[in-house]
């Protein structure tokens, strides 16, 4: 695979990763569990990619978070906000529309 194709695939994955992470955060989760849940679905994401994404989604008010310090190791839990639910629904709808458009393009071939 050439460099251009690799870069385009990375760009496509970045865009869809937001939707996947928001979907996983419909119930309260902490970072390590998010990585595990995605991995069980066959979606590989590095912690070095996930944590900055979680912080960005939180800064965009798409996720809320809180620290749980009851255990020996404090954990930051993330959950979809009301705004995040609205955005996730819009992203899912757009995904369906894009799939339909891609199928139409495939029919032209």
Q: Rounded CA gap, 28 and 64, in Å?
A: 9
Confidence of residue 28 (pLDDT cuts 50, 70, 90): very high
Domain ranges, ordered by start, for the chain: 3-108
Confirm if 62 and 80 have CB atoms less than 8 A apart. Answer: yes
Q: Is the pLDDT of residue 109 over 70?
A: no
Q: What does the DSSP 8-state code read for residue 59?
A: H
Write down the mean pLDDT value for the chain.
93
Q: Is 3-108 assigned to CATH 1.10.10.10?
A: yes
CB of 47 closer than 8 Å to CB of 31: yes
């Amino acid at each position: 695979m050439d460099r251009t194709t690799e870069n385009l695939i990375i760009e496509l994955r970045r865009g869809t990763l937001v939707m996947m992470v928001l979907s996983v955060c419909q119930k309260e989760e902490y970072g390590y569990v998010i990585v595990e849940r995605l991995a069980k679905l066959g979606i590989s994401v590095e912690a070095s990619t996930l944590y900055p994404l979680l912080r960005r989604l939180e800064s965009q008010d798409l996720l809320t978070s809180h620290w749980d310090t009851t255990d020996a190791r404090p954990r930051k839990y993330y959950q979809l906000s009301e705004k995040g639910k609205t955005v996730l629904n819009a992203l899912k709808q757009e995904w369906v529309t894009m799939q339909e458009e891609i199928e139409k393009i495939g029919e032209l071939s």
